Amino acid sequence: MYDIVLIPGDGIGTEITESVTSILDSAGVDINWINCKAGETAQKEMDNPLPEETIEAIKKYRIVLKGPLATPVGAGFRSINVALRQKFDLYSNIRPAKSLPNIESPYREVDIVLFRENTQGLYIGKEHWVDEHQQHAESIAVVTRDASEKIITAAFEYAKKHGRKKVSLVHKANILKLTTGLFLKIGKEISENYPSIEFEDLIVDNMAMQMVLRPQQFDVIVTTNLFGDILSDLASGLVGGLGVTGAANIGENAAMFEAVHGSAPDIAGQNKANPTALLFSALMMLEYLEEFRKAERIRSAVYTVLQDHKEVCTQDIGGQGTTQSYTDAICKLLRD
Ligand code: NAI
């Protein structure tokens, strides 16, 4: 029995976490869920978007399955996703994007694993007004050797462990010569320790075009925080959209598994949300716990439902069903 912190989160969070916990239950995974709150829901109910109880539970149990957390645009509290990644030094954000059976897409045989540095870069939101009339703003990007070494090494180690052939490092060192220049320099140094893995570097704008033109040329990608944020959504778009791409945030002392997507307020509460992304995140969690067989069994059930029962799938991937009909079909396969 595993003790795992569950944060359903905001928007579609409750629907997709209920779906995923029932699928894991049907597969016989024995988990004691420690229910916690964060984000907009916690702000409304507890007047704090990141309650102390939630922090203490993560410190104690160290593994988290998290639904999406909404962040107000332009004003209001700062991102709790970013706060959690920084607080627990979850430096490695791993976002796989793999073509799935029977999902309409102009792309076939995409199999990318993107490593995004998760605690620094421009994404940390260190901003200030330069003038008192708030007509001039500045934002600070932070890149350190220590954090860059950790994420780039994690990408190479993953490539080595999983028999991957190439690591592509993405930067903008022609313009941001100090910050992403340092990241690139460290990448070149580390690549020398892995002579059997091909290494290349690409400037981020070219990378965006290359991923759209011929994504099959990429294997493992490693990049800084903001570029990783954008390119991982692009990668999701290549394999069926945000509803089908999971992610892991891993540090030395804790790990948090969450979908790439947000709280999808446009479809919240309508039984339309695709739980596959969070389910794939939960499968990454099972693999982290070395429950490889159970993870594989669930993945295989998902593939069968996509292939043979497309009508029960959610509409974002071309089905005519709902969150519930899709969940029920997977649970039934797992129980039979
Ligand atoms: P979003 O990812 O919530 O939605 C973008 C589009 O994708 C929407 O049309 C939505 O309906 C669709 N979509 C997303 N997930 C889906 C799913 N599982 N099934 C079917 N369709 C799905 O991005 P948006 O609208 O930019 O952000 C909404 C909120 O989510 C914001 O407050 C943002 O800060 C937050 N957010 C949270 C993240 C996290 O918790 N890790 C990540 C990204 C955004």
pLDDT of residue 336: 86
Query: Does some domain include residue 116?
Result: no
Q: Are residues 252 and 218 part of one domain? A: no
Residues 262 and 268 sit within 8 Å (Cβ to Cβ): no
Query: Does some domain include residue 117?
Result: no
How far, in Å, is the centroid of ligand 1 from the Cα of 281? 15
Q: Are residues 269 and 332 part of one domain? A: yes
Ligand 1 pocket residue status of 70, Cβ below 6 Å: yes
Mutate which of 261, 302, 317 for ligand 1 pocket (most atoms within 8 A of beta carbon): 261
3-state helix vs strand vs coil in the chain, percent to 5: 45, 20, 35
Q: Are residues 256 and 234 part of one domain? A: no
Atom of ligand 1 nearest to the CA of 264: 3
Q: Are residues 294 and 244 part of one domain? A: yes
Is 188 a known active-site residue? no
Query: Does some domain include residue 118?
Result: no
How far, in Å, is the centroid of ligand 1 from the Cα of 278? 12
Ligand 1 pocket residue status of 40, Cβ below 6 Å: no
Backbone angles phi, psi at 126, to 5 degrees: -85, 95
Q: Report the CATH number that the domain containing residue 289 is assigned in CATH.
A: 3.40.718.10
Ligand 1 pocket residue status of 263, Cβ below 6 Å: yes
Q: What is this structure's pTM?
A: 0.93
CA-nearest of 260, 203, 210, 207 to 107 is 210
Q: Are residues 164 and 84 part of one domain? A: no
pLDDT of residue 294: 97
How far, in Å, is the centroid of ligand 1 from the Cα of 78? 17
Q: Are residues 212 and 130 part of one domain? A: yes
Backbone angles phi, psi at 122, to 5 degrees: -75, -15
Residue closest by Cα to atom 13 of ligand 1: 264
Mutate which of 84, 263, 278 for ligand 1 pocket (most atoms within 8 A of beta carbon): 263
Q: Are residues 308 and 335 part of one domain? A: yes
Ligand 1 pocket residue status of 261, Cβ below 6 Å: yes
Choosing from 201, 229, 316, 328, which is the catalytic residue?
229
Structural domain boundaries, residue 141: 105-110+126-223+230-239
How far, in Å, is the centroid of ligand 1 from the Cα of 290? 29
pLDDT of residue 172: 97
Is 30 a known active-site residue? no
Ligand 1 pocket residue status of 116, Cβ below 6 Å: no
Ligand 1 pocket residue status of 243, Cβ below 6 Å: yes
Residues 259 and 247 sit within 8 Å (Cβ to Cβ): yes
Q: How far apart are CA 93 and CA 248, in angstroms?
A: 6
CA-nearest of 37, 21, 93, 92 to 70 is 37
Q: Which helix (H) or strand (E) holds 306?
A: helix 292-308
Ligand 1 pocket residue status of 256, Cβ below 6 Å: no
Query: Does some domain include residue 331?
Result: yes
Query: Does some domain include residue 121?
Result: no
Query: Does some domain include residue 81?
Result: yes
Q: Are residues 95 and 5 part of one domain? A: yes
Ligand 1 pocket residue status of 274, Cβ below 6 Å: yes
Q: Report the CATH number that the domain containing residue 183 is assigned in CATH.
A: 3.40.50
Query: Does some domain include residue 115?
Result: no
Q: Are residues 234 and 136 part of one domain? A: yes
Q: Are residues 95 and 13 part of one domain? A: yes
Domain count, the chain: 2
Q: How far apart are CA 229 and CA 309, in angstroms?
A: 32
Ligand 1 pocket residue status of 267, Cβ below 6 Å: yes
Buried b / exposed e along 126-160 (16+ C-beta atoms within 10 A): eeeeeeeeeeeeeeebebeeebbebbbbbbbebbe
How far, in Å, is the centroid of ligand 1 from the Cα of 263? 5
Q: Tell me the mean pLDDT per 10 residues along the chain, length 336.
A: 96 97 97 96 93 96 97 84 91 96 93 96 92 96 97 97 97 96 98 98 98 98 97 95 95 94 96 97 97 97 97 95 98 95
Atom of ligand 1 nearest to the CA of 277: 18
Residues 265 and 11 sit within 8 Å (Cβ to Cβ): yes
